[in-house]
Structure 1
């Protein structure tokens, strides 16, 4: 059971945050600005493309792959964007010292058979040492693809980018700790938790490049404005903000002791739901099931009639309520992008807001049916929506809120 008083203790949160996850999220806006500046210095500003590529392939793992999925959402049907996930390669051997090989040594990537000179390959890595990505760059060079590589300077992947005449784009790492407190080593040295702010270090140069080659139609100031939105969310969700004024702490407390069903209306909210499920697993050790309306209603319907939905019979007088742990229950979190929605809390600043249950504005069929299904089975449904007209800004609003919530839930649960 989560002791939510821990969420109102900034000192305890800082002590529990051994890998500086909250600091990484707070610096997301700064990483966007730095990435834009370094990308221009690397030559993106001088790039004069001949035309839009037939397809954009985005290779990586973790947040790098998520960035490719977000680009596919923002590009819509006007451009073909294909994320390239890793596949199992030959199992690597331990080194001479007997240490086990790192996780990324067992990953490989393969270009689709149709990829060629009309296509653009973007490779993105926070580590820069994946041999599978280096091999992919060589494959693309042999086929005549245009190539761009986002990787830290001085890494093998950055060096390989120069060999294959790729456009080098910067990977901006998280800001270091403000003090000299030691960072606890990961329990699995070859499979560490990912920096929660890494998404923006991958996504920013990718979107800047996509905007330059015509794959997206973002406003010219969309990315700088995104940095401002991330800063604003970091202020609202800061550790010393009380839980009743901090939307991320409130969401974390609400999800405690539940199995969240992350339902989304539209592609932008769908990308947020998928990201939130991954962050809940990685940062809080909690399972969550994402899905898009309306098809998720049939996919998850059976859970409402199972043990998680029905819960324990409250009329069972002889049930031991002292020794028995609190049962898990379903919790529906409905994420929406509702651009231009008038009235109510969504108009205050355009940022994400919890939609009240008695909201009387018109709803799409899937949203209305979701509310009816939850009410019919006494399952709590919480709705968060962003009314920002620009899809990238709506994504930034919602994903920043849910990233903070996942970290707070993990930190508080670890201290309970």
Structure 2
């Protein structure tokens, strides 16, 4: 049951937010700044690379994999970025599981013991391995660092200071960058899922920020320090616009949460960057609101998921019809198509006042006016591949033909990092609000 009234009561929201998720989201900008400061103090500012690596590998699991996908999307074609997700370790070589009376840290280690990573066969001395971990206790990542050392790869890790992974990075003559976790909610809820790690949403920024700063320094991607600062400022801005104190009718995240009640979202994206945001949104909906979502990227989604729109979940009422009779509406689950897009407009050619072919999304409508960040001409990253306007218009026609509601969530920032940051922050808040206002929200923190 969705309790919409809760969104209009900041005090009730605070009481319902037992895990402190809203406070964690509000501190995301500070997390970026702290992560950059700690990375500089750890030696990143003094790093003088001899040249750009041939390829970069990003290894981790969960949030770390998403951070690697964002780096790959922001890097374009300047340098191949390969994300190394985990595989299941051979059970024959895994140690015994901890006893049922084991501590939460032991249980997290139990989960880590089941994961394994490996480098591609072509990895060599010209390549860079980036290892991301919010705990730094995964034996598979430590083994991967040792494997990279034998191949001659340069190793950099982002992990808690003093963790086994940070120590292993020093042993292989790599550079450990510290990760400082946000204050957790305490003991996990007892249950079968108690051995699965549950990171707060801000973990993404604590892992991503130092990795992007390093990537810029070694030439993987052009993201100057000013862009990272702008991303932190954007997180602060979204925290104000989408915070619990903002009224529902002016809060884009609360509005999106209300629209997602009782629907199965099809989250489509227009580029690799927004595709990573879509996967983050789907993961947040599952973790914080116990809601499923389906993701896809244009133009492939037009054919791969076209069959979904033909089913019985497609037809729905017009949400823009204020005078419709809501008492006759059924509670049956229905689809809603969310299209994540970047729509940057050059500063020299602003949009005409009458340009309103698409209704502005919450992210676009509430975006603050600020000058675009201009990268250096000699270090401009390759543009992201984008679908043609025909693919976007075809998505709208497909939704209209099958009576499926569609909404665009867009960001008009010309800086790719800031644009993706705005979309991630907005959807993070929306997922948390949806979970807090739902009586069936999970309690696994």
Out of 386, 391, 401, the position equivalent to 2:426 is 401
Q: CA deviation at 1:71?
A: 0.5
CA 1:74/1:242 → structure 2, altered by over 3 Å: closer, same or farther? same
Out of 177, 180, 189, the position equivalent to 1:172 is 180
SS in 2 for 1:77: coil
1:379, 1:97 → 2: CA distance? 48
> Residue 308 of structure 1 contacts residue 329 of structure 1 at CA under 8 Å; is this kept in 2?
yes
Alignment partner, residue 378 of structure 2: none
1:95 to 2:98 alignment:
yes
SS in 2 for 1:331: strand
CA 1:186/1:7 → structure 2, altered by over 3 Å: closer, same or farther? farther
> Residue 354 of structure 1 contacts residue 382 of structure 1 at CA under 8 Å; is this kept in 2?
no
SS in 1 for 2:341: strand
Q: CA deviation at 1:173?
A: 1.4
Out of 142, 152, 164, the position equivalent to 1:156 is 164
> Residue 56 of structure 1 contacts residue 81 of structure 1 at CA under 8 Å; is this kept in 2?
yes
Alignment partner, residue 335 of structure 2: 330
Alignment partner, residue 318 of structure 1: none
1:385 to 2:385 alignment:
no
Q: CA deviation at 1:96?
A: 5.6
Runs ≥4 in structure 1, deviation > 4 angstroms?
Answer: 96-101, 343-346
Q: CA RMSD in A?
A: 2.5
Out of 399, 415, 437, the position equivalent to 1:374 is 399
Q: Deviations over 1:340-384 (max 9, x none)?
A: 1624699xxx992259xxxxxxx8111111111111121111111
Q: CA deviation at 1:185?
A: 3.2
Q: Deviations over 1:189-244 (max 9, x none)?
A: 20143211111111001100000001101234110111001000011111121211
CA 1:412/1:176 → structure 2, altered by over 3 Å: closer, same or farther? same
> Residue 28 of structure 1 contacts residue 227 of structure 1 at CA under 8 Å; is this kept in 2?
yes
Q: CA deviation at 1:336?
A: 0.7
Q: Deviations over 1:171-201 (max 9, x none)?
A: 1212467xxxx76636422014321111111
> Residue 233 of structure 1 contacts residue 400 of structure 1 at CA under 8 Å; is this kept in 2?
yes
1:25 to 2:33 alignment:
no
Alignment partner, residue 304 of structure 1: 309
Q: Which moved more, 1:119-128 or 1:263-272?
A: 263-272
Q: Which moved more, 1:202-211 or 1:216-225?
A: 216-225
CA 1:119/1:14 → structure 2, altered by over 3 Å: closer, same or farther? same
Q: Which moved more, 1:393-402 or 1:166-175?
A: 166-175
1:283, 1:389 → 2: CA distance? 30
> Residue 18 of structure 1 contacts residue 183 of structure 1 at CA under 8 Å; is this kept in 2?
no
Alignment partner, residue 61 of structure 1: 61
Alignment partner, residue 151 of structure 2: 143
Q: CA deviation at 1:267?
A: 2.4
Structure 1 unaligned runs (5+)?
Answer: 313-320, 356-362
Alignment partner, residue 70 of structure 2: 70
Alignment partner, residue 370 of structure 2: none
CA 1:241/1:184 → structure 2, altered by over 3 Å: closer, same or farther? farther
The count of residues paired between Structure 1 and Structure 2 equals 394
1:272, 1:241 → 2: CA distance? 24
Paired residues for 1:285-304 under 5 Å: 285-304=290-309
2:100, 2:205 → 1: CA distance? 36
> Residue 316 of structure 2 contacts residue 403 of structure 2 at CA under 8 Å; is this kept in 1?
no
Out of 276, 281, 289, the position equivalent to 1:276 is 281
Structure 2 unaligned runs (5+)?
Answer: 318-325, 367-387
Q: Which moved more, 1:246-255 or 1:18-27?
A: 18-27
Q: CA deviation at 1:37?
A: 0.8
1:102, 1:325 → 2: CA distance? 45
> Residue 363 of structure 2 contacts residue 410 of structure 2 at CA under 8 Å; is this kept in 1?
yes
Alignment partner, residue 342 of structure 1: 351
